[in-house]
Structure formats: C-alpha cells, structure tokens
C-alpha cells in the first residue's frame, strides 16, 4: 500500500526546559505545551527531587525540524535558525 503523500506528519522541535532547582532538560516535542507536559510527567513518575524543585520556570525553542511539504523525504533547511535533524 502506497503512503498517503497528502498527510502532514507532525513537526518536532527541540526545547530546553528549565526547572526551578533540577537544572535544564532537553525535550523533543511538537509544541511548548507538549514539552512541558512530557517533562512534568517523567519527573513526577520518577518522583525525581522535591516536587517544588520540579517546577518549570522557562521553556526555550532550541531547534526545529522542517520538511518540504512537496516531498516529505527532502528536508528543508532555514538560513536563520537551528535545524533539528531526526534519524528515523
């Protein structure tokens, strides 16, 4: 069965997520909210550090994964941003 070329796969971004006292974590997610939720979930499930130390104080976009919509196998690179290359 041939893959549907009209389907747009989710773009992933690399975020640096800073916590109150646990430092920085790098998270690959599709949005700021998804990065926040993913890190909070992992830290809570592991019961890592004190709960107030897990509080997220900053989220910064570090790099973005971009693809040509005309040809999903061809990555498009920006001149003015850091691009994220994801091995599949």
pLDDT at position 82 is: 79
Give the residue, 72 or 55, on which the prediction is more confident. 55
The DSSP 8-state label assigned to residue 12 in this structure reads -
pLDDT of the residue at 83: 78
For residue 17, give every residue at least 6 positions away whose Cβ sits within 8 Å of its Cβ, in sequence order, or none.
Answer: 24, 25, 26, 27, 35, 36, 39, 56, 58, 59, 60
- pLDDT given at position 80: 74
- Which pLDDT score is estimated for 9? 61
């Amino acid at each position: 069965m041939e893959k549907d070329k009209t389907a747009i796969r989710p773009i992933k971004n690399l975020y640096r997520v800073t916590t109150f006292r646990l430092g920085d974590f790098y998270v690959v997610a599709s949005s700021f909210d998804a990065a926040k939720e993913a890190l909070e979930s992992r830290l809570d499930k592991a019961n890592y550090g004190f709960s107030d130390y897990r509080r997220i104080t900053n989220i910064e976009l570090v790099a973005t994964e971009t693809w040509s919509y005309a040809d999903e196998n061809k990555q498009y690179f920006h001149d003015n941003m850091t691009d994220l290359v994801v091995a599949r």
